[in-house]
Amino acid sequence: MDKKRIAWCITGSGHYLKESIDLMLTLENVDLYLSKAGEEVLKWYDYDLSIFKKNKIKIFKDVTASASPVSLLYESVYKLVVISPATSNTIALMAQGVSNTLVTNMFAQAGKCEVVSLVFACDTEPVVITQAPKKLVTLYPREIDLKNFKELKKFKNVIVVDNVKSLKKHLKKLSQ
Ligand SMILES: Cc1cc2nc3c(=O)[nH]c(=O)nc-3n(C[C@H](O)[C@H](O)[C@H](O)COP(=O)(O)O)c2cc1C
């Protein structure tokens, strides 16, 4: 059996946050990586870090300038990096090759180590209905958001999905 682990990254997106967490909690061999905004947004949606700790999930927060946990990728600890949900900010940074947060560094270093990344992008349609903390809101992603999403799809060793069904399908295949 493959003992390698999955690095699951949560960014500051309320969109598909619940679906992402529900899916992550079904996995056994997963570590959690949080962007600074990801850590904050969890609180907006009433998530306490204790639910991850209860499931024995190790949590890495964005507290070092060098994104030091990426060294685990150099030690071949991970077989897959999942970024779900991914904000339009993180999608933009990744699509432009910028790595200045823990999550974008995990993505960049996964690419350099030839580890596959599975990215669940949120702003993928001209109109998106999203879950704000207290109600559903309709958003209109900008052309630049849709362009960055399309750009990221061209990356080698990167799978970008835009719905839960597709996320589940790829996760099943890649997590074996
Ligand atoms: C309650 C709340 C919900 C948010 N949901 C989203 C979202 O669904 N998609 C998005 O792109 N940004 C969302 N944001 C804004 C991001 O958190 C913000 O752009 C942040 O800088 C992203 O940083 P990160 O990409 O490093 O996580 C939300 C912010 C708040 C306060």
The domain that holds 48 is classified in CATH as: 3.40.50.1950
pLDDT at site 35: 98
Q: What is the pLDDT of residues 116-155, one digit of tens each?
A: 999 999 889 999 999 899 899 999 999 999 999 999 999 9
pLDDT band at 102 (very low <50, low <70, confident <90, very high): very high
pLDDT at site 176: 80
Q: How far is CA 81 from CA 74, 110, 114, 138, in A?
A: 13, 7, 11, 29
| Distance from the alpha carbon of residue 76 to the mean position of ligand 1, in angstroms | 30
Mean pLDDT of 49-78: 96
Where does ligand 1 bind, in terms of residues with CB under 6 Å? 11-15, 35, 37-38, 41, 44, 87-90, 101, 122-123, 130, 133
| Distance from the alpha carbon of residue 2 to the mean position of ligand 1, in angstroms | 34
Percent pLDDT > 70 in the chain is 99
**Which residues have C-beta within 8 Å of that of residue 129, sequence separation ≥ 6?**
136, 137, 138, 139
Q: Whose Cα sits closest to atom 22 in ligand 1?
A: 12
Question: Terminus-to-terminus CA distance in the chain, angstroms?
Answer: 9
**Which residues have C-beta within 8 Å of that of residue 46, sequence separation ≥ 6?**
none
| Distance from the alpha carbon of residue 39 to the mean position of ligand 1, in angstroms | 11
| Distance from the alpha carbon of residue 160 to the mean position of ligand 1, in angstroms | 18
pLDDT at site 2: 66
Q: What average pLDDT is seen over the chain?
A: 96
Q: What is the pLDDT of residues 1-44, one digit of tens each?
A: 568 999 999 999 999 999 999 999 999 999 999 999 999 999 99
What total of structural domains would you count in the chain? 1
DSSP state of 137: E
pLDDT at site 69: 96
What range does the domain containing 123 cover? 5-174
pTM of structure: 0.96
State the alpha helices, DSSP H only, in the chain. Answer: 17-24, 36-44, 50-54, 71-74, 88-95, 102-112, 143-152, 164-174
